[in-house]
Amino acid sequence: MADTLQFDLVSPERKLASVEASSVQIPGMGGDFTALPNHAPFLTTLRPGVVRVVSPGETIDYVVTGGFAEVSPTAATILAEQAVIRPEADTALLADVLHAAERDLADAPEERRMAAGQRLRDVMALKNQLGI
């Protein structure tokens, strides 16, 4: 039984991580979950949040604004809309994401209003979590 899984985090701009991890905490759309070695296959969309990667010797947090995560028994891969290492998450990044979420809610047709409202709440929660 392996005690690590391959973790890859990719955004449109760059590959942010490719490491062997013992666990990866992921902000899934249905709630946070932790990918561990030998995890059941799983695919989910992401909400704005913090991805915590625990590998032998270090723990690194990344901020993602959304995207997709695929987990298998041997790997976890995140394809993020936007992603930065947590120290790089600044007011400007979250201001842009927050502005887009507010605009999307204002412009949302009735059938998309609930999802747009949830996106706005998720961005605001991330902003509070980061203390920005």
* CATH code, 36: 2.60.15.10
DSSP secondary structure letters along 10-42: E-SS-EEEEEEESEEEEEETTEEEEE-TTPPPE
Residue span of the structural domain in which 125 resides:
90-130
For residues 15 and 30, state if they share a domain: yes
Query: How far is residue 21's CA from residue 47's CA, in Å, rounded to a whole number?
Result: 21
pLDDT over threshold 60, residue 111: yes
Query: How far is residue 59's CA from residue 21's CA, in Å, rounded to a whole number?
Result: 9
> Tell me: the pLDDT tens digits for 6-35?
999 999 989 999 999 999 999 999 999 999
What is the value of pTM for the model shown? Answer: 0.90
For residue 56, the model assigns a pLDDT of 86
Burial class (CB in 10 A: 0-12, 13-18, 19+), 93: middle
For residues 34 and 75, state if they share a domain: yes
The pLDDT-based confidence of 90 (bands split at 50, 70, 90) is confident
